Structure 1
Amino acid sequence: MSLVLGMLLDALLGEPKWLWNRLPHPAVLMGRVIGWADTRFNTGRFRKVKGVAVVAGLVGAAALLGVVLSWGGTVVEVVVVAVLLAQRSLVDHVRAVAAGLRRSLPEGRRNVAMIVGRETASMDDSAVSRAAIESAAENLSDGVIAPALWFAVAGLPGLLVYKIVNTADSMIGYRTPRHAAFGWAAARLDDVLNLVPARITAVLIAPLAVWQLRRDARLHRSPNAGWPEAAMARRLDIALSGPRAYDGKMQDFAWVNAGARHSGGPRDIEAACGVLWQAWGGFLGVALLAWLL
């Protein structure tokens, strides 16, 4: 019941600015802790060992906090689930890209820069659209389905462990000179925790294309993000991924669903938002059925 009610509350309220302008969001607090650990321990020798120890500490602390919070009963569970899921805010951010792109290309670029890590200054309308759609697919898995699934499996401890690991991966799980060793544990554990949710998300997005997704997903640089992106590409009949710039350097990534059209616009972004709600509804239906049974 807590999962169903939490999903509905998140869909209804999203992330109310009046609250999070006054209080730090839990994700922000997680980020501060991880940032402190990065500054404090990502130095000198044995960085990989230190990174493993930091992730182990974060996981243990998150699990313990989840146990303590679960003592608060259903009301606390519902609130925590609603706060840590991101369906409504994801749709709002993605839809803002479509709205900005309708007004002007620079505004579309500014809005998409809020949800992707790549460089946006040289993007055309289609590149902005594809970036928004890719972010929609990947974040549906990372920000909605995966945390909801881990709550269903292991309650608040499972949810909080997933969120702290996913946040750590987003901050230190990069193959850069600074983080390749220290962030190794965060990146690998995040891969493990997203293994099943990413594939479930893909099926929720494009159930009729499930047999084609394995081939498409293999083309993606990520072992998990490729699944929801491949599903969204099939669902919208558009090519996703492909070359993009990071830190001033073009990365020649393969196209996913390369034979489809490469052009896109605000209507495609809106269509992706519709798919987000359909996938969310499918997962909600399964959760509701499981609760009733």
Structure 2
Amino acid sequence: MVVLLAAFLDWLLREPPARLHPVVGIGRLLAALERLWRDDARAGAAAWAVGAAAVTGLAATLGCWILTLETPWRQMTAALLLWPAFSLRMLLEEVAAVESALARGLDEARTRLARLVSRDTGNLDAAGVRMAALETLSENLSDSVVAPLFYFVLFGLPGVWLYRYANTADAVWGYRSPRYRRWGWLAARADDALNWIPARLTALLLSPGRPAALRREAGRTPSPNAGWPMGALALALGVRLEKRGAYVLNPSGRDPGPADLRRALVRVRRAAVAVYVLAALLSWGRWGL
């Protein structure tokens, strides 16, 4: 029930206001921790651990407090705390907006895409814009839906918010950024470890029954996880996905067109609904909820 209530809140309200969003609060915590230590690998690991303990401890405390509430209020309060940890509606709307922008002009689509991806979008053609949109759609299905609910099923609110902390810390401190080469090594490794299973589950949801092909496509990317959902979506749609100078997924596929983005949105929405239902069933009656 808690998962379904949280999914309803996501569909109805999209995201909490930034001033109230826990992920924004995690970002402020990371900034504060960074100011407390000098820039070296051990300090970065210590800062990550302190932040993880703080976020997980707060989530566990709130979880214990929820258990003192009457059943209807307990479930609604738990749903309110779970809701900001995942995001489907915003993901679907933002990716759909890229295709709508392409219909109006390439420059507008590049600008819109830049809100979703970290790569330089200024020299992408229409196919390149769609490729990047499909890649972020599939990867964020894993990071923003499957993984949070996976850890909620396993460990309740402390688990889901530890994951969200680790994912945010990787985005801010990950060692792939030159500035955080030493400081962010644990942040990057922790995120890789926590996403290992969810990335593969996401791939199976997007392209079931093709484990050998999924493994082949996933191996084309430098990331241990991102290639799984991206490769799965490329195979499911029959399209090629390329990041110049980094990888090409499903190289024999065609360039994606407008219909492919629409098909991808439908496939991702169906996969997310399946995850909602499965997570609701597996978590039903657990954690006193």
TM-score (norm 1): 0.90
Deviation at 1:42, TM superposition (A): 4.6
- Alpha-carbon distance change, 176 to 283 in structure 1, aligned in 2, over 3 angstroms: closer
- 1:29 corresponds, among 25, 29, 34, to 25
Number of residue pairs matched by the alignment: 277
Asked if residue 20 in structure 1 is aligned to residue 17 in structure 2, the reply is yes
Contact preservation (8 Å) 1:98, 1:269: yes
Aligned to 2:11: 11
- Alpha-carbon distance change, 13 to 210 in structure 1, aligned in 2, over 3 angstroms: farther
Aligned to 1:178: 179
**1:26-105 correspondence runs (5 A):** 26-43=22-39, 47-70=40-63, 71-72=65-66, 73-105=74-106
C-alpha deviations, 1:167-225, integer Å up to 9, x for none? Answer: 00011103243211100000000011001011111111111323310111011111011
CA distance in 1, matches of 2:7, 2:98: 24
**1:123-134 correspondence runs (5 A):** 123-134=124-135
Q: Which runs of 5+ in 2 are unaligned?
A: 67-73
Q: Could you tell me which amino acid in structure 1 is paired with residue 116 of structure 2?
A: I
Contact preservation (8 Å) 1:7, 1:81: no
Aligned to 1:247: none
Asked if residue 2 in structure 1 is aligned to residue 2 in structure 2, the reply is yes
C-alpha deviations, 1:47-97, integer Å up to 9, x for none? Answer: 110011011111111111111221223222101111221111111111110
TM-score (norm 2): 0.91
Contact preservation (8 Å) 2:33, 2:51: no
- Alpha-carbon distance change, 289 to 211 in structure 1, aligned in 2, over 3 angstroms: farther
CA distance in 1, matches of 2:31, 2:193: 22
Secondary structure of residue in 1 paired with 2:180: coil
Q: Could you tell me which amino acid in structure 1 is paired with residue 23 of structure 2?
A: A
CA distance in 2, matches of 1:55, 1:84: 19
Contact preservation (8 Å) 1:99, 1:266: no
**1:178-217 correspondence runs (5 A):** 178-217=179-218
Aligned to 2:251: 258
Q: Which runs of 5+ in 1 are unaligned?
A: 244-251
Instruction: State percent identity of aligned pairs.
Output: 36
CA distance in 1, matches of 2:49, 2:34: 14
Q: Could you tell me which amino acid in structure 1 is paired with residue 172 of structure 2?
A: M
